[in-house]
Amino acid sequence: MSQIPIIFEDEYLVIANKPSGIASISERNGSRENSFVGMLESQIGQLFVVHRIDKQTSGILCFAKTEDVHKALSLIFENREVEKEYFAVVKGNVLEPHGIINEPLAENPARPGTMKVYAKGKEAISEYWVNENFKHAAWLRVKIYTGRMHQIRVHLKSIGHPLLVDEIYAGTKNFHISSVMKNFKQNLEEETRPTIARTTLHAAKLGFIHPITKQSISVEAPLPKDFEVLLKLLRKNNR
C-alpha cells in the first residue's frame, strides 16, 4: 500500500491510522510484512505492538519505538489510563440517547475465537451516545473503559443493536443501501456493489499521558471514505 498516514510521531512512539482489511499484527501462518505493523516498520523502522484492533475495523493504533517505551505504554493501557472512542453504525434505531453497558465477557467455548456475555467473565464496560438515528440504522459514538476482545461488537449485540455489518455477531458480510431504499428495482442480471463490505466500526480517538514527556496526547482519525459514503446514503434514504 502507499504511505501509511501518521497521526502523531516522536522519538518514542508513533500513532497511525489503519485501514480496514489489514491485520494489526501477523495472522496465524501469515508474514509480519503483510500486517499493519510490518508495513509501518518498512516505513519508519522497528516497532513494538501496544494494542490492536480487529482486521476489519479501521482507525487508530499506537506503537512504541523501544522496549522501555513499550513497557511504559503497555502499563498505561493495562491500568486503563487511556481514553478510547469509536464510531459504530448499528442495526435499528437506538431509542436511548445515552447508555452504559456493564456486562462481563468471556470466550465462547462453542465458537473459539469469539466472545459472549457471561456472568463469570471478565469485567467489560462500554458507554455510548447516539449521534444520529436513521430509518433502519443508527450512528453511535462509543467509549470503552476496558479492552476486551470484540467488546464493542458483543456489547452492542447484547442490547439488541449489533453492528450493521459484522459477519460473526450479526451474520452480515456487507450492506447494500438498496435494501432500505423505497421502490428500488434491481435488474436481476446485475449485482449491486455493496455500500460497505466490512465491520462498521472505526477507532476514532485515543488519549493518554505520554509516558516519557508527560505531554497530554489526544489524537483523532477521520472517518474513512466508505464510512462517510454509508452515512451520506443512510441520511439520503431516511424518509
Catalytic residues: 54
**Residue found by looking up cell 461488537 in the block:** 153
Residue/partner pairs of 22-28 with CB below 8 Å, 24 or more apart: 22/55, 23/55, 24/49, 24/52, 24/53, 24/54, 24/55, 24/61, 25/49, 25/52, 27/55
Q: What residues does 105 pair with on adjacent strands? A: 117, 122
Q: What residues does 211 pair with on adjacent strands? A: none
Q: What residues does 196 pair with on adjacent strands? A: 175
Q: How far apart are CA 235 and CA 191, in angstroms?
A: 23
